[in-house]
Amino acid sequence: MESLLQFTLNALMLGSMYSLMAVGFTLFFGVLDVVNFAHSEIFMVGIFSALASIRILEYLGINNIFFLLIGAIVCSCICTTFINIIFGRVTIKPLKFSPSILTLVATLAGGVVLRYMVMLFFPHGTEAHFFPTLLPGGRINFGKIDIEISVLLIFLLSIFLIVFLKKFLDKTKIGMQMRAVAQDKETASLMGVNVDAITDITFFIAGILGAIGGVLYGSYYNFVQYNIGEFYGPIGFAAAVIGGLGNIYGSILGGYLFAIIVTFTAAYLPGGVAFKFPIGFAALIIFLTIKPSGILGTDRGIKI
C-alpha cells in the first residue's frame, strides 16, 4: 500500500510538469490553430534564463531563497517572453497563410535552433548544470499520507496557473479576443481584433508558462541540461492531445493521465521501465486513431 502511495505521488509530480507543458501546446493550437513544437524549448529557455539570473543574483550577494525564487521567476519571465515573442514573429507570423504542416516543421526546426543556441552560448552549455532548490523543503503529513512540501506546492501552483489561464481566457477582454481568433481568425480581424497583437500575447503567455514551469522544474529536479526540451516536447504534446488539443482543462487531464500511465507501467508491468514511455505514446496513437480531438476536445468536422 505504501508503494501505491509513493507511485501516486510520483505521478502527481510528473503530472504537474506534464500538464504545464501541455497547456502551452494547447494554447497555441487553441488560439492560433498552430502546432508550436518549439514550446518545450521555451521551457528549457525558461530554465536557463532562471539559472542565469540566479547566478547573477547570488553573485550580487542575494542568498535568501525566497528572494532568489521571486527574482528567478521575474527575470526568467522577462527573458523568456522576450525571446518567445521574437520567435513567434520570425516563425509563425510569416506563415499565417501557409499550410499548417509547414508551420509545424518551421517550429520544429526553430526549436532545435533555440536548443543549440543555448548549448553553444550558455557557458559550459553541453554539461548538466546544478539548479538550486528554491522551494521550501520538508514534508507534510496528512494522516497516513506523507508528501514533500515542494511537490504539493508544484501541484497546487500548476493547477492554479492553468485555472487562472482559463479564467483569463473566459473573463477578460483580451481573453475574449483570443477566443475570437481561435474560432475564426478572419472574422475576428474583420471585427477589429488585431490578430498580430494576439499572436504576440499568446507567445507572451506561453513564455510565462515556460518561465514558471522552468523554475519549478529546476528547483525540484536540481539538474538541468540543454536538451531537456527534446525529452519533454513529445510528452507535452502527447498529453495535450490526449486531454484534447485546444481545451485548457484538457491539458490537466492529459498531463495527469500520461503521468499515471507512465508511472504505473514502470511500477507494475514486469520490465515496465523499458516500456513506460512507449506505452504512453502508444496510448497517444490510439487516441489519434479513435478520437483525435482527445477526451475533452470537440470534433472539428472537415469543411467541404
- Give contact residues for other proteins (rule: CB under 8 A): 29, 35, 90-91, 94-95, 98-102, 104-106, 108-110, 112-113, 116-117, 119-120, 230, 234, 237-238, 241, 273-278, 280-282, 284-285, 288-289, 292, 302, 304
CA-nearest of 240, 239, 285, 229 to 260 is 239
CB of 290 to other proteins, least distance (A): 8
Smallest distance, other proteins to C-beta of residue 279, A: 8
Residue 26 or 219 with smaller CB distance to other proteins: 26
Tell the smallest beta-carbon distance from residue 281 to other proteins (Å). 4
Beta carbon nearer to other proteins, 130 or 231: 231
Taking the complex as a whole, how short is the minimal distance between the CB of residue 35 and other proteins, in angstroms? 4
Choose between 14 and 238: whose C-beta lies nearer to other proteins.
238
Q: Which three cell numbers mark 124?
A: 559550459
CA–CA separation, 193 and 181 (whole Å)? 8
Q: Which is nearer to other proteins, 99 or 138 (CB)?
A: 99
Residue 269 Cβ vs other proteins, minimum distance, rounded to whole Å: 12
Q: Which is nearer to other proteins, 1 or 302 (CB)?
A: 302
Cell of 6: 509513493
| Sequence-separated (6 or more) residues with CB below 8 Å from residue 83 | 42, 45, 49, 114, 207
User: What pairs with residue 148 in β-bridges?
Assistant: 139
Which residues have a Cβ under 8 Å from the Cβ of 187 and sit 6 or more positions away? 180
What residue type is 70 in one-letter code? I
Number of residues that this document lists for the chain: 304
DSSP element (H, E) containing 165 = helix 149-171
Nearest alpha carbon to residue 25 among 130, 147, 111: 111
Q: Which is nearer to other proteins, 78 or 119 (CB)?
A: 119
Nearest to residue 46, comparing CAs of 236, 224, 178?
224
Q: Cell 506561453 maps to which residue?
A: 206
Minimum CB–partner distance for residue 209 and other proteins (Å): 20
